[in-house]
A = this chain, B = another copy of it.
Amino acid sequence: MSTIKTPADLGKVIRQRRKAAKLTQKKAAALAGIGVRFLSELERGKPTAQIGKTIKVAQLLGLEIQINER
């Protein structure tokens, strides 16, 4: 369970998880219905990545996003 404070934090988790699933960016992107460039940038912490696509990728990788009061 990781706490996300920045887009970079998010990218890191996604990359880890993708690798753990033995998927290349190309395959993962195809499965999520997005481009490889998006995934590459997302994993590197691009702050302007779109939320909808980001959620899609997370779900594809079996990641659950939760939000709660601090």
Contact = CB atoms under 8 A, between A and B. Distances in A.
By DSSP majority rule, is chain A's interface helix, strand, loop, or mixed?
mixed
A24 interface: no
A59 B55 CA distance: 18
Interface string A15-43: 00100000000000000000000000000
Contacts of A1: 66-68
Q: Copy number in this complex?
A: 2
Given A10-B51, A51-B10, A67 B64 contact: yes
Given A17-B69, A69-B17, A3 B51 contact: no
A20 B54 CA distance: 27
B70 A62 contact: yes
